[in-house]
Amino acid sequence: MEPNLKRVTAEIKKVMRYFSERIDPDKKLEQVIIVGGGSNIPGLGDYFTNGLIMPARIASPWQVLDFSELSQPSRQFKPRYITVAGLASVDPRKILA
């Protein structure tokens, strides 16, 4: 797994450099947000924090969603539903054309 994580880290650094050189040199990236199914890999946030020398956090929109009487997905499945959770937390009038 380590070689793959090193490649991902290198790609993230390229994107960060591109942003700082070409998109907005006046703004500084302050953190990396990790989402999706792979985000539940133990220690992933710490790995990227150390490799990128900036905070890397796992996104968790679940606290802001109202499930009412429904139960939340189990911890192991939450990363798989991150897109749906994100869409559920946005006013549909703001994202639909």
Q: Average of pLDDT values for 25-42? A: 86
Residue 46 has pLDDT above 90, yes or no: yes
Domain that holds residue 32: 2-91
Full-model pTM:
0.69
Task: Provide φ and ψ at 33, rounded to 5°.
Answer: -105, 125
Domain presence at residue 96 = no
Residue 62 has pLDDT above 80, yes or no: no
Q: How many domains does the chain have?
A: 1
Q: Provide DSSP, 3-59.
A: HHHHHHHHHHHHHHHHIIIII-TTS----EEE-SGGGGSTTHHHHHHHHHTS-EEE-
Domain presence at residue 21 = yes
